[in-house]
Structure 1
């Protein structure tokens, strides 16, 4: 960690300036400036430094018309379009989206009346065990309303491509088709690259799986009950206790159950552990592959001309507003064949994860990257002008 930061410093990617108490040496770039009142040693990002950071952390760099952190300088025509969308399109979409959320919450509340939640280890609680009309109502309405939410956000159509296994016959090299029939073998989990929170809405509309979510999500108004109906597995990311081992065991058991029982919801896992700009694929964590069950790889891309729906180095509020301002958004989905691990891969989860990752990178034309969440925190800290000790603490976490 410290050697990484020293390397950044030696390459002028993190410039440390001494700031006096009177604040006379303040950064004149308000969008990327540091807070001199917090620490006497702060991070200053110049244009040259920004270029070096982008070379170091390319998986988190925004390259759309709105620039770094979505705060780039815009032409007058773009500002006028944003102003028009803010007073017309955004209010309509916001109200419609909120009504969809409330409607689905009410459906979930009705279907869970007089039904006790399933409780597992580590305070896991969900309603995914329900069967009959209650479960059918939750799933069908959830898929429909998730797609409706995407429509409200400007995703009027979704381009889905299904890949089928290559035939041994060299003459039969056709490997793409629309409307592929259901695979004979059921996977235990869906494995997807992670580009945006929008990924969750797509997968809900497509297969309504269970997700891994922060523990705090289960306590949120409206969303908390919905996440329990999805059967989410809750994890405390910052915890260094045995919580992770417990959650890993729950996930592994869920994946095995989904593989063996068609009535059980599939697990939806993002093994990268964080979002990227959509052009790269980070190293996979092995938790999704410990069960030794087959997985279904899915690749998501968000083509854009002005605003990128990727949630990489931009705040959540700014991202939502700019997304709602864009009249049309696009999703491209590539579904690969179910990946059945070999005996060697079953005994080596790391090999299993790496092979699936390489396949997804090849089929999705994605670039493999060796960086991860700690590097993303460093990049964001530098862009936000956080002090160096703060960066070090985030890296340690």
Structure 2
């Protein structure tokens, strides 16, 4: 399901890239980084081997190192070509048919559960997250089951999940990150996850069935549109004015607070990196997920692979889906950290809050922290495609 979780800051335009990009917050500190300039190595043709090495070193968080090479277009050995050809005519069509059947089935269930009900409308939003009773139970439990069934269909037969307790985290980091206040609800308001693949949302749906931020156009898609409304998605416009940002920001903050205080309200799933990486890095966090001052649940996702990496880093969507579905077995490793309760200082400083959660996740997940972002990713993509005529991307800040 394609979504774009974006910033809700003071910019007057949106930077859109991969699915499920997270709302960015308004950082209280000024970004002093220089404006990004066009790379002098970019030309009208794909980079040479020497230039490619330089690019991969500079944009390491987006480098693809699986059997299919850069952008999934590398030269394949004969054995790999045979495996791929066999999967294209056998495995791929079966998975597509079964996957579509699951989507249609869940869409019908959602239609049934929302019959004779009125969607909740606030701040230009529309969803069915307010449903209670048997309708909500059916939507949530069938949604979790069918999401897991869809992952199974795509080759994720086993999902390795582990939970770290607070004592283990304190021993590892040397800090006590649990600042729970007496009488405070122990339920987190948001799930904070690293962003690797478009499959991230499918896993979280099978695990906790949270709401997330999506493009407004998603609400109009066949099958998926109604599902997203039942999930309680917060919709954003691809190109919006700053006044719209404040509306989305307010809705997300209120939804996170409500989820923290009300066990019947769906939690929000937020990807504070703002875009996907190759899974070995953790980008700079945007503060939007931390403005509510509510506790969060950090979750780390990894996708071990041998042939095709499930990471959506520097490969086109269609090519990635085809190659991934042609892989016989796929894997997900999930690490759930303890609920992180912000200190009073972190509540007053969302940048500090975001940075501390990021450091904890990087330490626990053995991830390399990198300060590059969406703008650099676009530069890297432009270089790989031999295109240097993207002034709107190359000369803007990644606020």
Which TM-score bucket, shorter chain as reference? Answer: 0.7 to 0.9
**TM alignment of 1:251-270, pairs within 5 A:** 251-270=252-271
Alignment partner, residue 390 of structure 1: 390
Alignment partner, residue 81 of structure 1: 83
Distance in 2 between the 1:125 and 1:296 partners?
Answer: 26
Distance in 2 between the 1:254 and 1:354 partners?
Answer: 22
User: Is the counterpart of residue 100 in structure 1 residue 132 in structure 2?
Assistant: no
Larger Rg: 1
Q: Render the CA deviation track for 1:106-126: whole Å, top value 9, x for unaligned.
A: 0001111111110110x2110
Alignment partner, residue 382 of structure 2: 381
Alignment partner, residue 343 of structure 1: 344
Cα distance change on mapping 1:76 and 1:369 into 2, 3 Å: same
Alignment partner, residue 129 of structure 1: 130
**8 Å Cα contact 1:187-1:296 kept in structure 2:** yes
Distance in 1 between the 2:155 and 2:393 partners?
Answer: 39
**TM alignment of 1:48-197, pairs within 5 A:** 48-121=50-123, 123-166=124-167, 185-197=186-198
Alignment partner, residue 230 of structure 2: 229
Cα offset, 1:168, TM superposition: 11
Q: How many residues align?
A: 354
Question: What TM-score do you get using the length of structure 2 for normalisation?
Answer: 0.85
Cα distance change on mapping 1:347 and 1:113 into 2, 3 Å: same
Distance in 2 between the 1:119 and 1:57 partners?
Answer: 42
Shifted more, 331-340 versus 237-246: the winner is 237-246
Q: Render the CA deviation track for 1:102-152: whole Å, top value 9, x for unaligned.
A: 00000001111111110110x211000000011100000000000000000
Distance in 2 between the 1:263 and 1:356 partners?
Answer: 26
**8 Å Cα contact 1:293-1:340 kept in structure 2:** yes
Distance in 2 between the 1:336 and 1:167 partners?
Answer: 10
The 3-state SS of whatever aligns with 1:277 is coil
The 3-state SS of whatever aligns with 1:147 is helix
Cα distance change on mapping 1:96 and 1:246 into 2, 3 Å: same
The 3-state SS of whatever aligns with 2:197 is coil
**8 Å Cα contact 1:381-1:391 kept in structure 2:** no
- Segments of structure 2 that go 5 or more residues without pairing to the other structure are 1-32, 175-183
**8 Å Cα contact 2:35-2:396 kept in structure 1:** no
Cα distance change on mapping 1:394 and 1:126 into 2, 3 Å: farther
**TM alignment of 1:363-374, pairs within 5 A:** 363-374=364-375
Cα distance change on mapping 1:333 and 1:395 into 2, 3 Å: farther
Cα offset, 1:346, TM superposition: 0.2
Q: Render the CA deviation track for 1:264-297: whole Å, top value 9, x for unaligned.
A: 0000000111110000000111111011000000
Alignment partner, residue 6 of structure 2: none
**8 Å Cα contact 2:301-2:332 kept in structure 1:** yes
- Segments of structure 1 that go 5 or more residues without pairing to the other structure are 17-41, 174-182
Cα offset, 1:369, TM superposition: 0.3
Alignment partner, residue 308 of structure 1: 309
Q: Render the CA deviation track for 1:148-200: whole Å, top value 9, x for unaligned.
A: 00000000010000000117998xx9xxxxxxxxx971000000000001000
Cα offset, 1:389, TM superposition: 2.9
Alignment partner, residue 37 of structure 2: 5
Cα offset, 1:313, TM superposition: 0.5
Cα distance change on mapping 1:395 and 1:302 into 2, 3 Å: farther
Cα distance change on mapping 1:229 and 1:83 into 2, 3 Å: same
**8 Å Cα contact 1:377-1:391 kept in structure 2:** no
Distance in 2 between the 1:190 and 1:161 partners?
Answer: 16
Distance in 1 between the 2:169 and 2:85 partners?
Answer: 56
The 3-state SS of whatever aligns with 2:382 is helix
Cα offset, 1:5, TM superposition: 2.6
Distance in 1 between the 2:294 and 2:348 partners?
Answer: 11
Distance in 2 between the 1:389 and 1:238 partners?
Answer: 21
Alignment partner, residue 204 of structure 1: 205
**TM alignment of 1:273-352, pairs within 5 A:** 273-352=274-353
CA RMSD of aligned residues (A): 2.0
